[in-house]
Amino acid sequence: MAGRMGLQDWVERIRDRDMPVFGHTVDGVRNITDDENASIGQLSRVILQDPALTAKVLKIANSVMFNPARQPVSTVSRAVTVMGFDGLGDIVLSLCLIDAFLSGGLRGRVLSEMARCFHAAVQARSAAAACGVQQVEEVFIAALLGRVGEMAFWCFGAEAATLLDEAMIEQPDERPDNLQMDILGFRLRSLTSSLAKEWRLGSMVVSAAEPGAHPSNAEKAIALGYRLAAAAECGWHTTLANKAIQAYAELVGCPEKEAREIAVGNATEAARVAAQFGAADAARLIPVPGAPDPAELAGESAHHAPDQKLQLKILRDLAMMLAGKPSLNEVLLLVLEGIYRGLGMHQAVFALLSPDRTQLLGKAGLGRDADALVKRFQFRLDGARGDVVNEVFLRNEAFWLRENNMRGLNAARLEKVTGQQEAFIAPISTHGRAIGVFYADCGVQVPDEEIWEGFLHFVQQASLSFEHVAAMSAAGARRQ
């Protein structure tokens, strides 16, 4: 193919045109994690700049895989302590990459690669732990990012990606590596290796893409993770899967029957982890016997019961946090967690007024599809009476929206965005002036008075906390 781009051309295009924001994120995170004098606060601030990223980090920090002791993690600072400075940095980069790759391109190919990577990562981590490898989290990240070039190409490859996709469909028996060489002039695993070096993703990611002649146990675990993941896609009882499970049993030194049970369990865990990382569509492609819904695996069922003990604990954590010097984002996320998990809500959103007070803009959320709801949660405030979004600010009052108690309010705009007829919305105020709102709903469940009172209490505490933080900041400014 005359005039086709070379490997380095693709690296530069993805780096400079397709993913420049990710490059800046990499630099910001790596400059902190590579600095021996960097503080937890510096890494926390990078994460807290993005509420959606913050929510995902907290979810992962509370997961069984990364927090087996199940110590509750409600702040980013605590997440750094539980997961480690470098480990959390790698998780942040992985989350940013996954978000970037879910943005478009040949989505089917992207999701297929992503599903295999999550599956391989969990299988590799399990094998590495059984072999006594110390850096099991590094193994997990290396396998997760071990096909970053493939995912980037399918996402941003445009015409070249379409040509390769058509060739793979028309020639299913041909090795993908051969088709890549014919059409691109290089193998996509070389693009993975080059991007891993460009983005400083670590030497283990490079070795995952281009394994050496004498692999370590960590590298063997990664290779086996990919072998198992690929084989399982053809069926758990195929010859390919049986041979991969035999290899797993040999590597970790356990009976084949036990190895099969572990591998199948790892597939279920991989679907859970993918959903926790925000890749629920990819999670559904992981071959899990029985195939439960990934969102349910991730602990995002449509409804969970209120937990009074958790409510009290979060309120205590909020009081302890205010004794220090918290950021507004830390306060916000802790209150959101109290509303979502403590009250058993389907989803919860915080939205803030624009500086000119003409728009209400979603900033952070928790719950199933919360990121998408936050993006949609945008309302122009035109002062029209009767519209519930306007009335929250006109009256500085909270509303429990329900079919038989609308008090002459029109919730059509809010319902169009949220898809919910029954919901709570309340202003968060400082010095008597509303600056934003908390929104929450119970999905298909019907909330009761106790949940409503709990919601109002959390919102009140948020308002008091915001006033406290603002006063502390003003006092600090005066002292300077």
pLDDT attached to residue 475: 60
Given a cut of 80, whether residue 149 has pLDDT beyond it is yes
Distance CA 378, CA 383 (A): 15
pLDDT attached to residue 406: 66
Print burial letters for 112-129: b (CB count within 10 Å at least 16), e (below 16): bbbbbbbbbbbbbbbbbe
Looking at per-residue confidence, does 42 or 251 come out higher?
Answer: 251
Distance CA 248, CA 122 (A): 13
Looking at per-residue confidence, does 469 or 167 come out higher?
Answer: 167
Distance CA 347, CA 120 (A): 31
The mean pLDDT of the chain is 85
**Token pair 């709990």: residue:** 454
Q: H or E segment at 476?
A: helix 449-479
> What is the percent of the chain with per-residue pLDDT over 90, rounded to a whole number?
43
pLDDT confidence band for 28 (50 / 70 / 90): confident
Given a cut of 50, whether residue 96 has pLDDT beyond it is yes
Radius of gyration of the chain (CA): 24
pLDDT tens per residue across span 268-284: 999 989 988 888 888 98
Q: Which of 46-50, 346-350, 379-383, 389-393 shows the lowest mean pLDDT across its residues? A: 46-50
pLDDT confidence band for 300 (50 / 70 / 90): very low
Q: Which of 38-42, 105-109, 110-114, 287-291 shows the lowest mean pLDDT across its residues? A: 38-42
**Token pair 């193994």: residue:** 139
CB 325 within 8 A of CB 472: yes
Print burial letters for 325-347: b (CB count within 10 Å at least 16), e (below 16): ebbebbbbbbbbbbbbbbbbbbb
Looking at per-residue confidence, does 275 or 78 come out higher?
Answer: 275
Looking at per-residue confidence, does 104 or 342 come out higher?
Answer: 342
pLDDT attached to residue 173: 86
Q: Which of 121-125, 290-294, 418-422 shows the lowest mean pLDDT across its residues? A: 290-294
Q: How far is CA 180 from CA 109, 151, 177, 208, in A?
A: 14, 14, 5, 19
pLDDT confidence band for 305 (50 / 70 / 90): confident
Average confidence (pLDDT) over 329-337: 81
pLDDT attached to residue 251: 93
pLDDT attached to residue 82: 81
Q: How far is CA 66 from CA 62, 94, 139, 266, 271, in A?
A: 7, 14, 13, 14, 15
pLDDT tens per residue across span 437-467: 999 998 877 888 999 999 999 999 988 888 8
Cβ atoms < 10 Å from Cβ of 71: 11
pLDDT confidence band for 185 (50 / 70 / 90): very high
Average confidence (pLDDT) over 406-411: 79
pLDDT tens per residue across span 192-243: 999 999 888 888 988 888 877 788 999 999 999 999 999 999 889 899 999 9
Average confidence (pLDDT) over 108-122: 93
Looking at per-residue confidence, does 459 or 329 come out higher?
Answer: 459
Instruction: Please tell me which of 56-65, 78-87, 447-456 the model is most confident about, judged by mean pLDDT.
Output: 447-456
pLDDT attached to residue 2: 45
Given a cut of 50, whether residue 361 has pLDDT beyond it is yes
Burial class (CB in 10 A: 0-12, 13-18, 19+), 362: buried
Average confidence (pLDDT) over 86-95: 88
Instruction: Please tell me which of 19-33, 36-50, 188-202 the model is most confident about, judged by mean pLDDT.
Output: 188-202
Strand pairing partners for 178?
A: none
Q: pTM for the complete prediction? A: 0.63
pLDDT attached to residue 48: 72
